Amino acid sequence: MPIACTLGSEAHRDRRERWLRLTRQALDEKRLTPRGVQLRLRPLGGVEEEARALVALERGCCSFARWSVERHGATVTIDISASGEGVKALHALFDDA
């Protein structure tokens, strides 16, 4: 599977802004993992819904990765994983999150 995002430049910029807003608002911890990235978010108002919406969108345009959202008590966790070169792409994608 190709390691690529299918979004155009404007849509990509808009999506990136949504991720940045979400992480600025609620990021508690970001971990680069051997297979990708894990984001732990505080479950403030609307955070879980936005996380789920973004992950659903990403599944459509960045299908080289596996995306999941889970709620564990007071934490919303987003796990994103891939293999091979996809891991490097994920690390770069969330470098400034």
**Residue 15 gets which letter from DSSP?**
H
Identify the domain containing residue 62 by its residue range. 9-93
Report whether 79 contacts 38 (CB < 8 A): yes
| 2 part of a folded domain | no
| 85 part of a folded domain | yes
Report whether 39 contacts 30 (CB < 8 A): yes
pTM given for the model: 0.91
C-alpha Rg value of the chain to the nearest Å: 13
Q: Tell me: the pLDDT tens digits for 29-46?
A: 999 999 999 999 999 999
Q: Tell me: the pLDDT tens digits for 68-87?
A: 999 999 999 999 999 999 99
| CATH number, domain with residue 85 | 3.30.1360
| 1 part of a folded domain | no
Number of domain units in the chain: 1
Helix axes 47-61 and 9-26, enclosed angle (nearest 10): 150
Q: Is residue 11 over pLDDT 70?
A: yes
> What's the mean pLDDT when you consider all of the chain?
92
Going by C-alpha positions, the residue among 42, 43, 93 that lies closest to residue 64 is 93
| 3 part of a folded domain | no
